[in-house]
Amino acid sequence: MFDKFKEDNGGEMMEEKINVSESVEASPSAESTIGIGELMGKRAKLEEAIDYVGLMIKNLKDKRTMLEKDIEEESVDIKNLKEKLQKVSEYINEENRGIQELTDKRMKVENEADEVGIIINNLRDKLANIDTIVGEEGNRVKQIKESRDNLES
């Protein structure tokens, strides 16, 4: 007549049928003509069912509380991981900025080296021109000397 739920070891609810007439143990002398004994038996079974439902509710609340605690712990762990990842991201960004600064400095040094190379080439060209001029003037002086020596001889 009544359905009663019973908790199994695995936490699953199992349905169990209870026959009220079996649970009422009333002696023939205790029964009245209006059926008060049967009514009292039904009331007792209803109280048992209510107590059992109350126990089920308490167990569900306990399980929910445990789940809330587990979820909160996971939330804290995830927040900690997120903070660590943000720090790693900041470190990576800082390193990228540092690499960019080094790249900029290297480019400046390369440009300066190119400028120095250009200056060296210009000076080399000027020195080569001077050397050519000095060589030509030296040859003229030599020719003049030779022609003077030839004239004197």
pLDDT tens profile 72-123: 999 999 999 999 999 999 999 999 999 999 999 999 999 999 999 999 999 9
pLDDT tens profile 8-33: 444 444 444 444 344 444 444 445 56
3-class secondary-structure state, position 148: helix
d(CA 84, CA 77): 11
d(CA 4, CA 50): 10
d(CA 93, CA 43): 73
pTM: 0.47
Higher pLDDT, 64 or 19: 64
Instruction: Answer for the pair 41, 31: CB distance below 8 angstroms, yes or no.
Output: no
pLDDT at 150: 81
Higher pLDDT, 35 or 17: 35
Task: Report how far Cα 61 is from the mean position of its chain's Cα atoms.
Answer: 33
CA-closest candidate to residue 15, choices 43, 56, 64: 56
Higher pLDDT, 38 or 74: 74
Tabulate helix, strand, coil % of the chain (nearest 5).
80, 10, 15
